[in-house]
Amino acid sequence: MSEDPPPIPTALRMQAHACRRLGSPLNGALLDRAAEDWLAGGPVKPLLAPWAHCGVRALFDAAASLRLIGAWHELALCGDDPAMAQAYAALDEAAIWTAARHAMVADRARMAAFMAHEPQTNEVRRAICLVGGFLEIAKVTGLPLRCFEIAASAGLNVSWDRYRYRMGEAAWGDPAASVSMDTDWQGPPPTAEIPIKVIERAACDRRPTDLTDPAQRRRLLAYVWADQPERLARIRAAIDVTLAQGVTVEAADAVDWTRARVAPVAGAATVLYHSVFWQYMPAQSQTALAQLIVDIGSSATRDAPFAWLRMEPDPQNMLEMQVRLTLWPTGTEQVLATVHPHGAMVNWTAT
């Protein structure tokens, strides 16, 4: 009888496949090497030892493979390991593997400490998935917006209205903005000739990334794949905007914060928004937050509307990412788009 393959190399190979599919052949190749290394008892094995008891699903939930490639990239970004830095700068996969294999022995404690920390990501191009929703809210309500982001990480998408977007034939935002993005826009363009005024903005995260701390900033960059330079350039520019604007992300649980901070106000559309966060809440919190949102919605009026805009996996198919909008007082819900998890594609389906 053949034995099941061990979960860790299986998870590494699956993540390798996902990286290739999401446009990072470099990490695809590196993670395949890591799987081989684990099977051969190389230095990957002790680094992944904290997850040795996990099945494949738990390894994915813990993002163990991403922690590993994040730890290598972080070492390159910090500059303490010139061989690693040079190999990453050249995007030379063989040289990165050689340097990483050496560093996993020589710098094991540092890498293990990096990997013990929960991954922290903030994807700027998710804003292009959400912006059509903000436009829709402004169009339908005709009101300025009060924007509340939960699970905002470093707060890079708190300033979504300060960025420039190209969405197929349409564009929105300041043409001179230092952060700009486009996407493979499919379907009709959104109505983009709408000036939007954000009159209030606030954000929370359970564990906000403090951008004034170089180590935390580097952690955020380390989780951006090195062979996607455009993503790295965009996040660096968004960090500058976020710091310059003095954006603050309050350290709070999404349910508590929403209860304390979010309520409709006359003369503005109040928007609660989030991206790629729902799955990180325990089921009990998901139920509590969903109920709280409905309760907030029930206090909305035509003069004080409330919108819930989110980019999250389709509840019926976790592999498909959707943008949904629910707008009160009517409570009308629509799927606006299906999207790539990093915003590389937006298939706009709203009528």
Ligand X SMILES: C[S@@+](CC[C@H](N)C(=O)[O-])C[C@H]1O[C@@H](n2cnc3c(N)ncnc32)[C@H](O)[C@@H]1O
User: 86 vs 285, which CB is nearer to ligand X?
Assistant: 285
Residue 153 CA to residue 281 CA, distance in Å, equals 14
- 253 touches ligand X by CB under 6 A: yes
- 57 touches ligand X by CB under 6 A: no
Query: DSSP for 152-202?
Result: -TTTTTTTGGGSEEEETTEEES-TT-S-EEE-EEESSPP-------EEEEE
In the complex, the smallest distance separating the C-beta of residue 255 from ligand X, rounded to whole angstroms, is 7
- 205 touches ligand X by CB under 6 A: yes
User: 260 vs 280, which CB is nearer to ligand X?
Assistant: 280
Residues of this chain, 168-197, that bind ligand X according to CB under 6 A = none
In the complex, the smallest distance separating the C-beta of residue 342 from ligand X, rounded to whole angstroms, is 9
CA angle 318–324–329, rounded 5-degree value: 140
Using DSSP, state whether 307 is helix, strand or coil. Answer: strand
Options 281, 296, 337, 346; binder of ligand X; rule CB under 6 A: 281
Options 48, 254, 296, 304; binder of ligand X; rule CB under 6 A: 254
- 153 touches ligand X by CB under 6 A: yes
How many residues appear in the chain? Answer: 351
Residues of this chain, 132-151, that bind ligand X according to CB under 6 A = 150-151
Residue 87 CA to residue 343 CA, distance in Å, equals 28
User: 74 vs 81, which CB is nearer to ligand X?
Assistant: 74
In the complex, the smallest distance separating the C-beta of residue 230 from ligand X, rounded to whole angstroms, is 16
Options 270, 275, 326, 338; binder of ligand X; rule CB under 6 A: 275
- 207 touches ligand X by CB under 6 A: yes
| CB-CB contact of 255 with 292 (8 Å) | yes
Taking the CA atoms of the chain, what radius of gyration do you get in angstroms?
21
- 121 touches ligand X by CB under 6 A: yes
Tokens describing residue 36: 């081989």
- By CB atoms closer than 10 A (0-12, 13-18, 19+), residue 28 is buried
Binding stretches for ligand X (CB under 6 A): 121-123, 126, 150-153, 204-207, 253-254, 275-277, 280-281, 285
